[in-house]
């Protein structure tokens, strides 16, 4: 029996403003996120629990409130892929031949303050390194990169406390930490 063609899943626009210092990247929204039209909507995904512990953007808040807290904390959120085919929600099921990367050069051009790109899992990192990094202008290709453990329930082998500790790398780049820095050196040469 011939295999049915998978629909092309389309991602969401970035959650970002001019004050962004850290860009957190997933791979492509899973089924629950696509249905809810929200980042990390799968209830067992630890992303919003981690954001709650780090910057007060936890699941007890409404979705719009969580996004506003991320922005106030200088955190931005997006996915490496703008679109791609995937059966289910596992990153391993993304059909790489159908993957279409987001336009990061335009994003970095608009948001000059990004100093760190963090990946929510190894698949996001791999996709970025393969599909995005080779075509970025040198001034953007030098932005620091950091892989973080996946918040997906499929990566349940790592205890929440360990994930939270690893994700705390975001804190020195948060709005509060940025305000505490001396004014010299805040402007990045682009």
Active-site residues: which are they? Answer: 45
Residue labelled with tokens 């490496």: 80
48 Ramachandran zone, left/alpha/beta (phi>0; psi -120 to 50)? alpha
Query: How many angstroms separate the CA atoms of 108 and 17, rounded?
Result: 11
Query: Smallest Cα–Cα separation from 123: which of 92, 162, 145, 157?
Result: 92
Task: Answer for the pair 71, 16: CB distance below 8 angstroms, yes or no.
Answer: yes
The DSSP 8-state label assigned to residue 6 in this structure reads P
């Amino acid at each position: 029996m011939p295999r049915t063609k998978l629909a092309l899943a389309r991602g969401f626009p970035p959650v970002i403003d001019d004050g962004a210092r850290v860009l957190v990247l997933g791979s492509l929204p899973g089924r629950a996120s696509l249905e809810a039209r929200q980042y990390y909507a799968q209830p067992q995904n630890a992303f919003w629990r981690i954001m709650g512990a780090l910057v007060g953007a936890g699941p007890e808040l409404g979705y719009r409130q969580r996004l506003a807290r991320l922005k106030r904390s200088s955190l931005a959120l997006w996915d490496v892929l703008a679109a791609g085919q995937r059966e289910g929600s596992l990153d391993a099921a993304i059909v790489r031949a159908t993957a279409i990367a987001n336009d990061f050069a335009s994003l970095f051009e608009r948001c000059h303050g990004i100093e760190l790109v963090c990946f929510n899992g190894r698949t996001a990192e791999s996709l970025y390194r393969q599909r995005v990094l080779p075509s970025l202008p040198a001034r953007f290709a030098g932005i620091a990169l950091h892989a973080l453990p996946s918040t997906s329930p499929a990566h349940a082998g790592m205890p929440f406390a360990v994930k939270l500790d690893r994700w705390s790398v975001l804190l020195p780049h948060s709005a509060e930490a940025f305000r505490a820095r001396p004014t010299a050196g805040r402007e990045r040469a682009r």
